[in-house]
Amino acid sequence: VYTTTATGATVNFPSVWHGTYTIAVSKVGYQTYTQSNVSISGETYSHPLITLLVSNIGFADNFENQTSFSLTMNNWTLVDLDQSATYGISGVSWENAYAAQAFIVFAPGETSPALTSIEMLPNSTKMAACFASTTPPNNDWMISPRFTAGPNTMVKFQARSHNDTYGLERIKFGVSTNANPTPNDMTIISAGSYVDVPVAWTEFEYSLSAYNGQQVSFGINCVSNDAFVLYIDNVEVTGVNSIDDP
């Protein structure tokens, strides 16, 4: 897989093997463009101009405008049900490290020293992070603002485990129709008892079409059992009828 961040009409991928590829172009707030069966056989490849279509996004957060290392986040309700202190990273310090918390606005480039080795999404400097509880398992929630779901409403977000040394991170995804949503009234719509989160950034996608016409909130629940760190980024809700002012 070859990835890069485009800064103009031309991108450079050095040392690409000849073969057949799928080209994907994505940007927060726009529909992802995908073209399959692209043959690369020469020194250069010229693709027709790509125009990204604006997504019907009712709510989105890439956490770049959130306050670094804050235990609260604008537009989100964070709930720490396990009430446990958390693990940190040896030899690295940041505000609220080791404190009891649900999710934290984590900015690896602003820690002391900076954690430059952590894999981030393109153009990302911050993300939501849930650190392992010292008395596992985790039971931590981030709950969205309310919005009116439509027939094609989708929730998408990117997530990854810091590593799998102590096991993969685990999440659940729930939906609430209550005016003041809490973890107790979330209906879990993700598969199984929990979903394992890979080490590589992975897109998770959930349809809320069953809630067409209803006011809903969704929640991402970290239920990891003595793992390490769960990262969440680029949350998007598309296809909504309306969204409440948070």
Angle among Cα 170, 107, 90 to the nearest 5 degrees reads 70
Contact 35, 21 (CB under 8 A): no
What value does the mean pLDDT of the chain take? 92
Is the model more confident about 48 or about 136? 136
The pLDDT tens digits for 195-205 are: 999 999 999 99
In the prediction, which pLDDT does 246 show?
45
In the prediction, which pLDDT does 16 show?
87
Is the model more confident about 245 or about 94? 94
pTM of full prediction above 0.85: no
At residue 183, what is the residue type? Answer: P
State the pLDDT confidence band at 136, using cuts at 50, 70 and 90. very high
Burial letters for 64-77: b for 16+ Cβ neighbours within 10 Å, e otherwise? eebebbbbebebbb
State the pLDDT confidence band at 224, using cuts at 50, 70 and 90. very high
